[in-house]
Each structure stands twice: as C-alpha cells, then as structure tokens.
Amino acid sequence: MASRAALLVLRATPPLFSFKKDIFPNKTLIFKQNNRNYAAKSCLEPPDVQRLAETARISLTPHEVEEFAPKIRQVIDWFGQLQAVDLQNVEPAIRADNEGETLREDLPEIFENSNV
C-alpha cells in the first residue's frame, strides 16, 4: 500500500483529478487502475493478494488476505519449477487437440424463427 501511495505522489497530477474520494469517486478509481497497470510490468514480483482480489472483483476481508497470502505464495513458488524447463521451440498447446479443425462449412443456415 505504501508503494502505491508513493507512486500516486510522484505522478504528475492534472488539475481535474482530486484525491478526495467523495468528490470524484469514480475518477479516482479509474486513476488507481491506470496506476496498477504501470506497476505490474516488472519481472515476477510475488503476488500482491489485495491487488489480485481487486482485479478479480472479490472483496476479501483483511483476515482472508492474511490467511491466503502465504498459501498462494507457496503455490506460486511451486509453479516456479516450470521456469527451469528448457522449452525452446516447443509450441504451446491450447488443448488436447485430438481432432484438428472443427469449423463448420461456410454456408448460411436458415432459422425458422428468423422473424421473431
């Protein structure tokens, strides 16, 4: 939270935006979101559970944040073993592609209730 506050202060603020949440609540929210995108680019920072919860639109209680953070960190660290694998020239697989193309013929289909 402190880092976000620091970034808020450092950014040049146009006169329209105010930090008084009650006057321009929605604009402040948008401003915060823009801020979040700039911060997220750095290489593999550990998960910020509060921020993830806001992105996923789940209102976690502070107790839940405390409870989940170590477990999530533990699992994400475990995911880290994928970094060690040599994956040069390996195509990513979207799914188990047992079938190949599944597109239908490019022909118009008439529906009975087209005038409804």
Partner 1 sequence: MLSSAQAPRLVRSPGLRLRPIKCLHTAQSSPLTTTTTAPSSQILTIRKSLLTQQTTAVDLAKSFLDRLRRTEPQLNSFLYVSPDDAVLKQAEELDNKIKNNEKLGPLAGVLVGIKDNICTSDMPSTAGSRILENYCPPFDATAVRKLKESGAIVVGKTNLDEFGMGSTTEGSAYQVTTNPWDLSRVPGGSSGGSAAAVSARQCVVSLGSDTGGSVRQPAAFCGVVGLKPTYGRVSRYGLVAYASSLDVIGCFGSSVADAGILLHTISGYDKFDSTSSKREVPDFTSQFVGKDYLESKPLKGLRVGVIRETFGDGVDPEVISSVRGAVTHLEELGCFVTEVSLPSFSLGLPAYYVLASSESSSNLSRYDGIRYGNQVLGDELNSLYGYSRAQGFGSEVKMRILMGTYALSAGYYDAYYKRAQQVRTIIQDSFKSALEKNDILISPASPSVAYKIGEKKDDPLAMYAGDKMTVNVNLAGLPALVLPCGFVEGGSAGLPVGFQMIGSAFDEEKLLKVGHIFEQTLQVSSAVPPLIAGELTC
Q: Measured from the CB of residue 19, what is the shortest distance to partner 1 in angstroms? A: 18
Cα–Cα distance list, 51 to 22, 29, 59, 70, 114 (Å): 22, 13, 10, 15, 46
Among 34, 102, 113, 114, binds partner 1 (CB under 8 A): 102
Name the one range near partner 1 by CB under 8 A: 7-15, 16-24, 72-80.
72-80
91 binds partner 1 (CB under 8 A): yes
Cα separations in angstroms, 56 against 50, 70, 79, 97: 10, 18, 20, 29
Q: How far apart are CA 69 and CA 47, in angstroms?
A: 8
Question: Where do contacts with partner 1 occur on this chain (CB under 8 A)?
Answer: 25-26, 29, 37, 40-44, 47, 49, 52-53, 55-61, 64, 67-68, 71-72, 74-76, 78-79, 81-83, 85, 87, 90-99, 102
